[in-house]
A and B are shown apart, each in its own frame.
Chain A
Amino acid sequence: MIRSTHLPLLITIATFLLAFTLCASQYPAMLSTRVVANLLTDNAFLGIAAVGMTFVILSGGIDLSVGSVIAFTGVFLAVILRDTSIHPLVAFVLVLAITISFGAAMGAMIHYLEMPPFIVTLAGMFLARGAAYVLSTDSVPITHEFYDTLQSLYWKAPGGGRFRLTGIIMLLTFLAGIIVAHRTRFGQNVYALGGGLSTARLMGVPLARTTIGIYATSGGLAGLAGIIFSLYTSAGYSLATVGVELDAIAAVVIGGTLLTGGTGFVAGTFFGILIMGLIQTFIVFDGTLSSWWTKIVIGGLLFGFILLQKGLTWATTLRRKPATEFAAQS
């Protein structure tokens, strides 16, 4: 039997399949492996950031700093590769260490100072974007042979589609995210935290460690997304990826995760990303629609999925109502 908690996920997948079928029936060329491969490559950085966002939202928090951290990572890599002769892999480790500690610091502020995540990560968003400006206000190109090697790594599928390394890293991140969320103590703690702070405390969930861990994960994944983005664009620019946090939040919500926390799936976010990517691909294929329709359609989808979740919660509480009817009336 299908459990009601799985329904949003199933509906997201159904929406994606339906949308893809509709698109493909209008433009048969969409069925090619090229389109599928590009869908993965173009949304790789967003997908990785959205995995971190899923954990944050599952815990009942929010992370507004994601887009700025991605931009900071790109600029940091570009500047450090331009000015020093260290190997990109060392630079990757360095930047991941910075972004993980940045996330951990935000988590610590949220937990120990009892401040709302919204405000703390908002300040983090300003700080990371500001740090990117300080490093460089220009778009700095990255020219390193190691980058060329990484960019030339792909698996050519029949039909001409190129499944690049970045897309594969995104898939691996999602896989790892699913395993961590459902098969580890940390994942269970995240769900418990999203279910309610006081209940989690009574259950013996280590609140400090979990909160810091969640925001460190989100920061680290934003850093990884920044690395992928720099591979995608071969440059670091401090004005890049403005508003990506909103796209990530939208993908998480479209993927069926409740913004109140506690309910949702990392896999749902994956299909949320694919749906958003599909809308853009369709607009490119169509050619006559203006780019702003993307925003309007994504807003409409958001609304649809929120209504759906609302309807589901309403339906499930309605079934239980007879027992509590008196309490509800009084």
Chain B
Amino acid sequence: MTAHVHNTLRRITPQLIILAAVLMLNFMVFPDFFRIEFQNGRLFGNLIDVLNRGAPTALLCIGMTLVIATRGIDLSVGAVMAIAGAVAASLAVDGHGWQVALTGALAVGAICGLWNGVLVAVLRIQPIVATLVLMVAGRGIAQLVTEGTILTFLDPGLIHLGAGTILGIPTPILIWIALGLAVTAAVRKTALGMLIEAIGINESSSRLAGINSRVLIISVYLISGVCAALAGVIVAADIKGADANNAGLWLELDAILAVVIGGNSLLGGRFSIIASLLGALIIQSVNSVILLSGMPPEFNLVIKALIIIAILVIQSPTVKHALYILRASAEPQPAEPIKEAKESPQ
């Protein structure tokens, strides 16, 4: 058990270091960054804001991590968010309760995920193309649901999902942490995670080993669709309306970035949901640093791009390999085989 915790810690160390560095940067430009207050029955503070604003990306990257672990990619999550938000809003406008609206949105997300999954697993279409279809058509479908307007709603239950608090903690934070823990437990306490990794490493051999890769791949896309739908509902509830054009716009790219910053390979295989979630927090902290530093907002994207490029370069295989060789050559010769033996079970 302790070995397991130790391994996990070791896996997420780079992400923790980067996150700590970005948070320190936040602290440097805004000394009050770490102060958290309890006012009007809810927690306030910049740290809480990072956790709260990062909720949609965090939710998306839970599903995205699993999809990428099977050597796939899901480009449609942003569009699915828009569809789910639109469905939830239109159900709420029609006078249904928040339970019906949420269930409807999640069901639609599941259907979208099922569509992607069937295209990838049954029709054997490349994931990037298969999900591109829904990415292009999805916003059109969402506009079809909202009839081209921004649907606003006043249902307090639904709004609570995005803007409310439970025990003083904003609901979105609780939702993404709970879902992250649940999915992590589901894949790590059972063999599911290992099976998913097997598919990502070599699908044909995993099939030969008796893994039902078709069902697993479909369910992975289904989970991604449901996560996206949940994120869509939260975003819609936050602004009390469904904006088919802008809800979740380019969030699929943020989610993929979060997964990559989390050290997961786009070529599938070994994955860590916790590291991806840390990646999502890193992206949100970068956004917060730019906001808090008071720099002109025009510079936001440039700085974000440069920080991301820096993180990617540090994590690129070539640089990692160069670092490994440097380290290996710096150490005395006999130590090398032992080091390698330690490295392999990781």
Contacting pair B136 A302 (CB below 8 A): yes
- CB <8 Å contact, B301 and A250: no
Instruction: Name which of B125-133, B188-196, B234-242 contacts chain A.
Output: B125-133
Chain A residues contacting B300 (CB-CB under 8 Å) are 130, 133
- Contact B316 A113, beta carbon cutoff 8 Å: yes
User: Which one of A142-150, A218-226, A290-298 is at the B interface?
Assistant: A290-298
Provide 11 A-B residue pairs closer than 8 Å at the C-beta atoms, listed in order of the A residue. A64-B253, A113-B317, A123-B309, A126-B301, A130-B304, A133-B299, A250-B132, A290-B148, A292-B139, A303-B133, A306-B133
Contact B260–A306 (Cβ < 8 Å): no
Q: A133-B301, A250-B132 are in contact. Are A310 and B137 (CB under 8 A)?
A: no
Q: Is the CB of B266 within 8 A of A126?
A: no
A126 x B123 contact (CB < 8 A):
no
Instruction: For B304, list chain A residues within 8 Å (CB).
Output: 126, 130
A32 interface contact, C-beta 8 A? no
CB distance B302 to A122 under 8 Å? no
A134-B299 in contact (CB<8A)? yes
Chain A interface (Cβ within 8 Å of chain B)?
Answer: 62, 64, 109, 112-116, 118-120, 122-127, 129-131, 133-134, 137, 246, 249-250, 253, 259-260, 290, 292-296, 298-300, 302-303, 306-307, 310
- Complex CA gap A115/B302 in Å reads 20
- Evaluate contact between A113 and B313: CB separation under 8 angstroms: yes
Q: Are A133 and B298 in contact (CB under 8 A)?
A: yes
Instruction: Find chain B residues with CB under 8 A from A250 CB.
Output: 132, 136
Flag if A119 contacts B260 (CB, 8 Å).
yes
B132 touching A302, Cβ below 8 Å = yes
Known: A134-B298, A299-B136, A310-B123. A122 touches B130 (CB 8 A): no
Chain B interface mostly: helix
Query: B residues within 8 A CB of A290?
Result: 143, 148
Q: How far is the CA of A113 from the CA of B256 in the complex (A)?
A: 19
Known pairs A122-B256, A133-B298; A253 contacts B305 (CB<8 A) = no
CB of A119 within 8 A of CB of B299, answer no
Chain A facing B: main interface SS: helix
Interchain CB contact under 8 A, A295 and B136: yes
Residues of B within 8 Å of A125, CB to CB, are: 253
Q: Are B301 and A298 in contact (CB under 8 A)?
A: no
Who on chain B is nearest to A135 by CB? B298
Known pairs A122-B256, A253-B129, A310-B125; A114 contacts B134 (CB<8 A): no
Interface size on B, residues (CB 8 A): 46
Residues of A within 8 A of B305 (CB): 123-124, 126-127, 130
| Residue from B129, B135, B244 within 8 A of A306 (CB atoms) | B129
Known: A296-B140, A298-B136. A127 touches B301 (CB 8 A): yes
Q: Tell whether, in the assembled complex, residue A119 and residue B301 are in contact, meaning their CB atoms are under 8 Å apart.
A: no
Q: Is the CB of A310 within 8 A of B124?
A: yes
B329 interface residue per 8 A CB criterion:
no
Residue of B nearest to A294 (CB): B140
Nearest B residue to A330 via CB reads B208
> Which residues of B are found within 8 Å of A260, using beta-carbon distances?
126
**Which residues in chain B, 290-316, are within 8 Å of chain A measured between CB atoms?**
297-306, 308-309, 312-313, 316
Give B260-280 interface residues, CB cut-off 8 Å to A.
260, 266-267
Which B residues between 126 and 173 are near A, CB-CB below 8 angstroms?
Answer: 126, 128-130, 132-141, 143-144, 148
Q: B307-332 vs A: 1/0 string, CB under 8 Å?
A: 01100110011110000000000000
Q: Which of B73, B143, B303, B306 contacts A292 (CB 8 A)?
A: B143
CB distance from A263 to the nearest CB of B (A): 13
- Beyond A123-B305, A125-B253, list 14 extra A-B contacts (CB 8 Å): A113-B318, A119-B256, A122-B257, A127-B309, A130-B301, A133-B298, A249-B132, A259-B129, A292-B143, A296-B140, A299-B133, A302-B129, A302-B132, A302-B133
A122 neighbours in B (Cβ, 8 Å):
253, 256-257
A246–B313 CB distance below 8 A = no
A299 touches B134 (CB 8 A): yes
CB distance from A305 to the nearest CB of B (A): 10
Verify A127–B136 contact, CB threshold 8 A: no
Residues of B within 8 A of A259 (CB): 126, 128-129
Q: Which residue of B lies closest to A311 (CB)?
A: B123
In the bound assembly, the distance between CA atoms of A127 and B306 in angstroms comes to: 7
Taken together as a complex, chains A and B put the C-alpha atoms of A278 and B123 apart, in Å, by 29
Q: Please, how many angstroms separate the alpha-carbon atoms of A310 and B318 in the complex? A: 35
B308: nearest chain-A partner, CB-CB: A123
Considering only CB atoms, which chain A residue lies closest to B245 in the complex? A292
Cβ B123 vs Cβ A307 within 8 A: yes
Nearest CB of chain B from residue A67's CB, rounded to whole Å: 11
